[in-house]
Amino acid sequence: MPRKKTKYWLMKSEPDTFSFQDLLNSPKQTTLWDGVRNYQARNFMRDEMQVGDGILFYHSNAKPPGVAGIAEVASEAYDDPTQFDSTDSHYDPKSPVDAPRWQLVDIRGIEELPTFVTLTELKSEPALADMALVQRGNRLSVMPVKANEWGRVLELGGLKSRARSKAARKG
C-alpha cells in the first residue's frame, strides 16, 4: 500500500558501462543502483524514493545522450555494498561500517522507448524548459522529474502515457 503519491526520477548511466539494454537483460530486469557517491543523489534514493516510482533511464556520455527507456524503483533504500569492497572502484574507505555513508535502491527495467529521446530534443522542447536535467551545469546522476515532464518525455519517446507499465510487466 503506497504511502505517498508516485514520484518520478531521472537516473543517468553511461551505456558503455551499463546501458538500458543491460538492465533489461539483467535477472528479473533488476539491478542495484550502486556506485552513487554524491550526497544529493544519495538523499533522493535514501529519503524520497519509494517502490513503484517511475524512472527515466538516461544515457550519459553517449552518442547521442538521451533517454533510452523507463524503469521503476524496485526496493527500499539499503546500504550500497560496494562502499566496503576494497576491490571495487567505488570503494569508500572513509565510510564507517557501523554508519554506512552510501545507500541505494534496486531498479527494474520496464520498457525501452520506441523512439530514443535525445538531449537535444529535450532541450528544444518548451514544456521541458524547467527540467532539472537541462539546467546549466547540472551534473547530478539522480534527480527528480515532474509528472508533466514525465508524460511529455514518454510522448516524445513514442509511448502513450497510459497502459504502459502493466502491459510491459506482464511479459
Partner DNA sequence: GCCAACGTTGGC
Which span (21-29, 47-55, 57-65, 160-168) binds DNA, by CB under 7 A?
Answer: 57-65
Task: Give the 3-state secondary structure of residue 39.
Answer: helix
Distance in Å, CB of 149 to DNA, minimum: 16
The binder of DNA chosen from 61, 124, 148, 161 (CB under 7 A): 61
Q: Does 38 bind DNA (CB under 7 A)?
A: yes
Which span (34-42, 78-86, 103-111, 152-160) binds DNA, by CB under 7 A?
Answer: 34-42
**Cis peptide bond N-terminal to 15, omega within 30:** no
Return d(Cα 132, Cα 115) in angstroms, integer. Answer: 21
Q: How many CA atoms lie within 13 A of 126 on its CB side?
A: 0
Return d(Cα 76, Cα 45) in angstroms, integer. Answer: 9
- Which cell goes with 148? 508533466
DSSP letters spanning 98-120: TS-S-EE-EEEEEEEEEEEEEHH
Q: Does 139 bind DNA (CB under 7 A)?
A: yes
Distance in Å, CB of 158 to DNA, minimum: 21
Which span (31-39, 74-82, 124-132, 155-163) binds DNA, by CB under 7 A?
Answer: 31-39
Per CB under 7 A, residues contacting DNA are 12, 14, 37-40, 60-62, 65, 94, 119-120, 123, 136-141
